[in-house]
Structure 1
Amino acid sequence: MPAVSESGIVVSNRVTIPQSELEEVFIRAGGPGGQNVNKVATAVQLRFLAAASVVLSAEVKDRLLRLAGQRATKDGEILIEASRYRTQERNREDARERLVELVRRALVPPPPPRRKTRPGKGAIERRLKEKKGRSDIKRMRGRVDD
C-alpha cells in the first residue's frame, strides 16, 4: 500500500506526487455483483496529470507515458481504472498502488547501450584450430584404401 500523506502519494524518498496532480472519479463497476452493482459507485478512475507534473523530470515523464501504453492519453494524462474490489476505499488504494508501481518503474533509468566488441586474436585462433581438428576427424571417416 502506497504511503499517502496530506501532501500526496509517496513514491520514493525523493518523489511525492502532489494531490493537486491527481483526480479521482467514482463510477459504477461492471460485472457480477447483483443489484448492488447498479446502486453503488465503487469503481475508481484515477487520473494523473503526468505531462503537467512538477515533480518528474522530462525523461521520466517520457518513460512513464511509454510504459503506460494505452492508459496514457494524448494530453499526457494517465488514466487508471480499478474495479477489482467491492469497496470504494479498496479500489482507491488499488488504483494508487498501480500508479505508484508505474512511476517507480519509470524512475529507473534504462541501461547504457551495449558496446560492440570483437573476439580476441587467441579466441579466433582457437576456433580455427578446433575447426581444423573437426575437419580432420571427418576426413578420416572416409573409405579405407587397400
Structure 2
Amino acid sequence: MINEDTLISELKFKAIRSSGSGGQNVNKVASKMELAFNLSESEALNDEEKERLMTKLSHRLTKEHVLLLQCDESRSQHKNKELIIKRFLGLIKEGLKQDKKRVPTKIPKSVIRKRLKNKRNLSVKKATRKKPDLE
C-alpha cells in the first residue's frame, strides 16, 4: 500500500483569499487552500500506480499531470488544509483500487422459457379483446 507520509511531503500548498460571505475576514485572511500534486514526478508511487492514476484521474489532471484541488469550506486555513489532505488521500486510494473483473453470466433456459410463455399469454389475451368478425 502507499505511504501517506511521503505522499503528503510531496504536496505543495498555496493559501488564497476565499470568495463569498465572511465579512471583513474574507478580505483580510487567505483561508482558501489550494493543493498541487505533480503525479509524473512523484517518488512515492511506482510507474504502474502512476499509470493507473493517470487514466482514472485524467479528467482532473492538467496537461503537465498536476492534480489541483481547492478547499474553502471552513473559515480556518488549518481546517481547510486538513480537509483537502483527506480529500486528496481519498482520491488517491480510490484511484488505486483495482476494478473487479466482471464474470459474464448465462441466462438459464427456464428463464427464457418463462419469458416466451408470458409473451404468448399476453398476445392471446390481446387477441381475445378484438371484436368478433361477423362475416
One fold, TM greater than 0.5? yes
Match of 2:50 in 1: 58
Query: Residues 110 and 33 of structure 1: is their aligned pair in 2 closer, same or farther, counting only changes over 3 Å?
Result: same
The alignment yields a C-alpha RMSD, in angstroms, of 2.6
Query: Residues 54 and 128 of structure 1: is their aligned pair in 2 closer, same or farther, counting only changes over 3 Å?
Result: same
Tell me, in whole angstroms, the C-alpha distance in 2 between the residues paired with 1:83 and 1:105. Answer: 22
Is 1:16 aligned with 2:3? yes
Judge conservation of contact 1:51–1:61 (CA < 8 Å) in 2. no
Count matched residues.
128
Judge conservation of contact 2:54–2:65 (CA < 8 Å) in 1. no
Is 1:124 aligned with 2:124? no
Q: For residue 57 of structure 2, give the secondary structure of its aligned residue in structure 1.
A: helix
| TM-score using structure 1 length | 0.69
1:35 pairs with one of 6, 24, 34:
24
Amino acid at match of 2:125: I
Unaligned runs of 5+ in 2: none
Tell me, in whole angstroms, the C-alpha distance in 1 between the residues paired with 2:34 and 2:89. Answer: 15
Tell me, in whole angstroms, the C-alpha distance in 2 between the residues paired with 1:91 and 1:61. Answer: 24
Tell me, in whole angstroms, the C-alpha distance in 2 between the residues paired with 1:58 and 1:50. Answer: 7
| TM-score using structure 2 length | 0.73
Judge conservation of contact 1:64–1:102 (CA < 8 Å) in 2. no
Deviations 1:21-63 (A, max 9, x none): 2111122222222233232222211111122223331343224
Could you list the structure 1 runs, at least 4 aligned residues long, displaced by more than 6 angstroms after superposition. none
Match of 1:78 in 2: 67
Tell me, in whole angstroms, the C-alpha distance in 1 between the residues paired with 2:74 and 2:124. Answer: 70
Query: Residues 25 and 130 of structure 1: is their aligned pair in 2 closer, same or farther, counting only changes over 3 Å?
Result: closer
Unaligned runs of 5+ in 1: 1-13
Query: Residues 45 and 126 of structure 1: is their aligned pair in 2 closer, same or farther, counting only changes over 3 Å?
Result: closer
Judge conservation of contact 1:64–1:103 (CA < 8 Å) in 2. no
Tell me, in whole angstroms, the C-alpha distance in 2 between the residues paired with 1:51 and 1:132. Answer: 61
- How far is the alpha carbon of 1:82 from its aligned partner? 1.6
Judge conservation of contact 1:65–1:76 (CA < 8 Å) in 2. no
